[in-house]
Amino acid sequence: MSKKPIKNLEQFKILGIETSCDETAAAVVTRLEDGSSVIHSDMVYSQIDEHSQFGGVVPELAARAHVEKLDGLIAQALEKADCTLDDIDAFAATSGPGLIGGLMVGLMSAKALAMVKHKPLYAINHLEGHALTARLTDQLEFPYLLLLVSGGHTQLILVEGVDNYQRWGTTIDDALGEAFDKTAKLLSLPYPGGPAVEKAALQGDENRFDLPVPMRGHKSLDFSFSGLKTAVRQAATNIQPLAEQDVSDICAGFQKSVTATLRDRISRALKRYSELDNLPAEPALVVAGGVAANKQIQALLKSLCDEYEVKFVAPPHHLCTDNAAMIAWAALERMAHGFEADALDVAPRSRWPLDEGAASKVGSGKRGAKA
């Protein structure tokens, strides 16, 4: 990729747009010379109500909702930032991975604005947005380790620099958030499943069901959750009809297995990370994605980081889940590191791994729906 230094970045205001899944979002962000940021506005419309009755995201409904909401959100983002389109120096939109209908809505809008205003366009990889958020919030130094756990992705990524990512591990089947959502659905709990499973688990006995711990001891850093989902289904089927306590016990057992698999995978990754010879002064593990909200998982990650003497960074929830500030920020980081803007004919990509050189894994990112 060609590089060209950009001057006066400090004054730059970028409008970011995010429409890759079920959040419609627009934000205005500036990056200061010392690497810190100003988030002038950060608007998000969550489509959960549109999708909850279906127990998951319906792509066609998502695309329609983006069309309906995006213009209004951009207007709100500009108003909150106290500026107009004329004050925007560049436009950035998620161009993959994700649901293609939604990606088209956001990217086409950004293209139209860039064309009309004669300003640069940045077509951003949604995963790069998540990967660089820790620099927006905490100005972390490279390289740091990122655990991305959301509805569509479960990845361990070594973030070595802007546009420089090594995927150390990924799920070979379901994403972790998807496993929470499917478990909730099996137990007739509401969507999204993560918060519902976490809440039910609080009242449960985590030892009543002996559920498997996928990938424990496996040499790779990959994840797998479909076997656990099947075990949950079997446990639930065996005791129909399910009483409230049964549901709580299954949820507690599910979370216990998830925590055990994460403990195994993440400690292996932290060991490998700690042994790198180019560690920064303050080595760090960052967690991103909706599942990062889970208290038991957060406590586990914190204790593992203490054990390996690595800083634990969990950005505020609204910047951990899908948002447009991270998309604007990724564009600003690209500018600051001399990457050129994208051409106006850039196409959205439902699949777009961060490390394009690496071999793809069966199932990883297959939905491309949520990251």
Query: Which residues form the interface with ligand KG4 (CB under 6 A)?
Result: 21, 150-152, 177, 180-181, 192-195, 198, 289-291, 293-294, 321-322, 370-371
The nearest distance, CB 55 to ligand KG4, in angstroms, is 11
Note whether 327 binds Zn ion by CB under 5 A.
Answer: no
Contact 360, 62 (CB under 8 A): no
Note whether 149 binds Zn ion by CB under 5 A.
Answer: no
Q: Is the dihedral of CA 369, 352, 126, 107 positive or negative?
A: negative
Nearer to Zn ion, 117 or 351 (CB): 351
- Residue 301 interface partner, choices ligand KG4, Zn ion, none, CB cut-off 5-8 Å depending on type: none
The Cα 290–Cα 146 span in angstroms is 14
Positions of E strands within 32-143: 37-46, 90-96, 121-125
Build a one-symbol-per-residue string for 253-292: x at contacts with Zn ion by CB under 5 A, - elsewhere: ----------------------------------------
The Cα 338–Cα 183 span in angstroms is 45
Nearer to Zn ion, 200 or 320 (CB): 320
**Which of these segments, 64-72, 144-152, 245-253, 359-367, binds Zn ion (CB under 5 A)?**
144-152
The nearest distance, CB 192 to ligand KG4, in angstroms, is 4
Size of the site for Zn ion (CB under 5 A): 3
Nearer to ligand KG4, 140 or 326 (CB): 326
Nearer to Zn ion, 149 or 235 (CB): 149
The nearest distance, CB 130 to Zn ion, in angstroms, is 6
Note whether 319 binds Zn ion by CB under 5 A.
Answer: no
- Going by DSSP bridges, is the β-strand pair 90-96/284-288 parallel, antiparallel, or unpaired? unpaired
The nearest distance, CB 40 to Zn ion, in angstroms, is 22
3-class secondary-structure state, position 46: strand
Contact 53, 61 (CB under 8 A): no
Query: Binder to Zn ion among 322, 332, 342, 368 (CB under 5 A)?
Result: 322
The nearest distance, CB 280 to ligand KG4, in angstroms, is 26
Tracing tokens 């039910």 back to the chain, one arrives at 200
- Residue 283 interface partner, choices ligand KG4, Zn ion, none, CB cut-off 5-8 Å depending on type: none
The nearest distance, CB 51 to ligand KG4, in angstroms, is 11
- Residue 181 interface partner, choices ligand KG4, Zn ion, none, CB cut-off 5-8 Å depending on type: ligand KG4
The Cα 186–Cα 214 span in angstroms is 19
The Cα 225–Cα 242 span in angstroms is 23
3-state SS string for 165-191: EEEEEEECCCCHHHHHHHHHHHCCCCC
Nearer to Zn ion, 169 or 368 (CB): 368
Cα of 302 vs its chain's centroid, Å: 19
Strand order across the beta sheet in which 154-161 lies = 164-170, 154-161, 144-149, 284-288, 311-313
Note whether 178 binds Zn ion by CB under 5 A.
Answer: no
Note whether 371 binds Zn ion by CB under 5 A.
Answer: yes
3-class secondary-structure state, position 25: strand
Interface ranges with Zn ion (CB under 5 A)? 150, 322, 371
